[in-house]
Amino acid sequence: MDSPSFDLQEVKRVIEAALLTAGEPLALADLKKLFDEELANDTLRDILDELARDWEGRSVELANVASGWRFRARPEYQRFIERLSPQKPPRYSRAVMETLAIIAYRQPVTRGDVEDIRGVVVSTNIIKALEARGWIDVVGHREVPGRPELFATTRQFLDDLNLRSLTELPPLEDLGQLVESVAAGAQADSAALPEAETVESEVPAPQPSREDASPTVN
């Protein structure tokens, strides 16, 4: 404990209330704002670990994701919660899933890299929709003629998939199921990804490739 004035049980209750009512994950820096006196990071982590143990065996759990901590329904109860919404969860097209997977597992990559791997032209709508969803972003430019944009996944992507880092990405064949489960839990999202690709987006990609360099594998 940092100071004798701290009642750690009260601190835990305050943190619990904040996390239960927050609309997004809270980082340690956010949790520190709840208190007038400074709490050490180690103290906060100990309290969060204790709080997570308090919720073990319940339908809701305290999870640590890329942006911080948040409460979430356990996966086995998600199918019941989905019944509260009359909307059918979107099913993402093969083009969307392949584009997202290439960016996630081979980042940073250019649009040309994605097209070289897929063998077809990538629809601008897919790139824009993934950006609008907050799952990918431009992180730089490749130093070749034309300086094409380099895309990578975002912290929001990790948060939505309930991951702390890219090292926790599931095997490639399981990514689609994970993304679909996220879609089921966020059916009302205004930045929904396109469900089906147009015929134009399946035009074979021109050869040779746009960039000589191959994408970096994380």
Instruction: Residue 31: give its domain's CATH number.
Output: 1.10.10.10
Query: Given a cut of 80, is residue 118 above it in pLDDT?
Result: yes
Give yes or no: residues 171 and 108 share one domain.
yes
Question: What is the residue-averaged pLDDT of the chain?
Answer: 82
- Residue 25 — pLDDT band, cuts 50, 70, 90? very high
For residue 209, pLDDT beyond 50: no
Whether 207 is covered by a domain: the verdict is no
Report for 35-44, 90-99, 179-188: range of highest mean pLDDT:
35-44
Q: What is the pLDDT of residue 106?
A: 94
pLDDT tens per residue across span 47-68: 999 999 999 999 999 999 999 9
35 has pLDDT over 70: yes
Instruction: Tell me: do 41 and 114 sit in the same domain.
Output: no
Confidence class for position 196, pLDDT limits 50, 70, 90: very low
Instruction: Identify which has the larger pLDDT, 177 or 190.
Output: 177
Q: Which of 40-49, 79-88, 169-178, 184-193 has the lowest mean pLDDT?
A: 184-193
Owning domain of residue 29:
8-73
Question: Is the bond leading into 25 cis (omega within 30 degrees of zero)?
Answer: no
Q: What is the DSSP letter of 201?
A: G
Residues 103 and 167 in one domain: yes
pLDDT at 14: 96
- Total number of residues shown for the chain: 218
Q: Are residues 28 and 101 in the same domain?
A: no
101 and 178 in a single domain? The answer is yes
Question: Does pLDDT of 215 surpass 60?
Answer: no
